[in-house]
């Protein structure tokens, strides 16, 4: 039995997955708990800006929670896109909206849009530009974790998701490695990492974070990571769990965090 702590239902602007299909699939697969971590984006440049309807999502969630009571643990969550420039806005939003679990994610590394694989050539051919983008990325992760607003730091290293094997080696570069360590220090103190398995079944794709980064995090005293499929369809709930577990163990952890270690509610 395990918990999938990162799933998007149709309450997220980029998912069509019905909460009912998600629950049925999770039960079929023997999953103990599912956190519905819907996209909350509070900056106009973000894809799901203004599209999350808290009350509607909450109503549907409560119906599902009642229907599956005793068969599946459901958590009402959010994946908040963090940007330091709107940190106080995010803080106010989280103060006024109740969630069982909150993931904080950095989805940006200016000036490089890492969601468009067409930028791979640019990253490969301009290491200085890529390094600059990674500095921005890891500094944002550091600020995000330092806020203490987030139970989980989502998919660290996600810039590799659609652009694997083109970025500078963060651990091997002194300057980047220092920033990574500073970010992990804040994660260890105020949050925990997720091991995001989203693209692990694609040849050549790494988990986020990599084994190497997970090892450093563990050595720094980091708490066991959560497992997150980052599913945007019912079919993807719990996806790649066993390969993620292998990565976790290779990094020296004995197991994933349970939902109980992370959630702000008891059942």
Contact residues for Zn ion, defined by CB under 5 A:
14, 105
Q: Are 240 and 16 in contact (CB under 8 A)?
A: no
Residue 225: C-alpha distances to residues 50, 56, 70, 82, 209 (Å): 30, 30, 26, 19, 10
- H helix intervals, 147-240: 174-190, 211-219
Minimum CB–partner distance for residue 47 and Zn ion (Å): 8
Minimum CB–partner distance for residue 178 and Zn ion (Å): 25
User: Of 14 and 261, which has the nearer Cβ to Zn ion?
Assistant: 14
Which letter, b or e, does each residue of 91-109 get, where b requires 16 or more Cβ atoms within 10 Å of its Cβ? eebbeeeebbbbbbbbbbb
Least Cα distance to 19 among 49, 62, 55, 78 occurs for: 62
Least Cα distance to 151 among 2, 42, 6, 1 occurs for: 6
Residue 60: C-alpha distances to residues 55, 114, 237 (Å): 9, 33, 18
User: Of 68 and 234, which has the nearer Cβ to Zn ion?
Assistant: 234
Minimum CB–partner distance for residue 232 and Zn ion (Å): 6
User: Of 14 and 116, which has the nearer Cβ to Zn ion?
Assistant: 14
Residue 260: C-alpha distances to residues 142, 158, 266 (Å): 25, 26, 7
User: Of 184 and 231, which has the nearer Cβ to Zn ion?
Assistant: 231
Secondary element (H or E) of residue 90? helix 87-96
Minimum CB–partner distance for residue 80 and Zn ion (Å): 10
Total residues belonging to the chain: 267
User: Of 14 and 69, which has the nearer Cβ to Zn ion?
Assistant: 14
Minimum CB–partner distance for residue 256 and Zn ion (Å): 18
Q: Are 176 and 134 in contact (CB under 8 A)?
A: yes
User: Of 20 and 115, which has the nearer Cβ to Zn ion?
Assistant: 115
Minimum CB–partner distance for residue 91 and Zn ion (Å): 19
User: Of 105 and 191, which has the nearer Cβ to Zn ion?
Assistant: 105
User: Of 105 and 240, which has the nearer Cβ to Zn ion?
Assistant: 105
Secondary element (H or E) of residue 247? helix 241-250
Minimum CB–partner distance for residue 143 and Zn ion (Å): 17
Q: How far is CA 73 from the centre of its chain?
A: 19
Minimum CB–partner distance for residue 126 and Zn ion (Å): 25
């Amino acid at each position: 039995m395990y918990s999938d702590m990162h799933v998007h239902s149709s309450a997220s602007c980029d998912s069509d997955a019905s909460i009912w299909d998600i629950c049925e699939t999770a039960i079929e697969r023997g999953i103990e708990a599912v956190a519905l971590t819907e996209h909350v984006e509070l900056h106009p440049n973000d894809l799901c800006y203004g599209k999350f309807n808290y009350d509607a999502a909450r109503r549907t969630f409560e119906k599902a929670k009642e229907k599956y009571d005793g068969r599946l643990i459901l958590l009402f969550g959010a994946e908040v896109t963090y940007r330091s420039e709107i940190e106080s806005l995010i803080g106010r939003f989280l103060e006024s909206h109740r969630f069982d679990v909150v993931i904080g994610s950095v989805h940006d590394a200016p000036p490089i849009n890492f969601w468009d694989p067409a930028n791979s050539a640019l990253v490969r051919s301009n290491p200085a530009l890529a390094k600059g983008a990674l500095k921005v990325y890891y500094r944002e992760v550091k600020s995000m974790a330092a806020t203490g607003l987030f139970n989980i730091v989502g998919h660290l290293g996600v810039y590799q998701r659609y652009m694997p094997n083109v970025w500078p080696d963060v651990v091997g570069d002194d300057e980047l490695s220092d920033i990574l360590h500073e970010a992990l220090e804040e994660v260890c103190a105020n949050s925990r990492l997720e091991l995001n398995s989203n693209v692990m079944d694609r040849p050549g794709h790494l988990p986020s974070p990599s084994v190497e980064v997970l090892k450093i995090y563990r050595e720094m005293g980091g708490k066991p990571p959560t497992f997150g499929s980052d599913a945007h369809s019912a079919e993807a709930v719990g996806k790649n769990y066993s390969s993620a577990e292998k990565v976790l163990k290779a990094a020296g952890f004995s197991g994933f965090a349970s939902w109980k270690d992370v959630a702000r509610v008891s059942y």
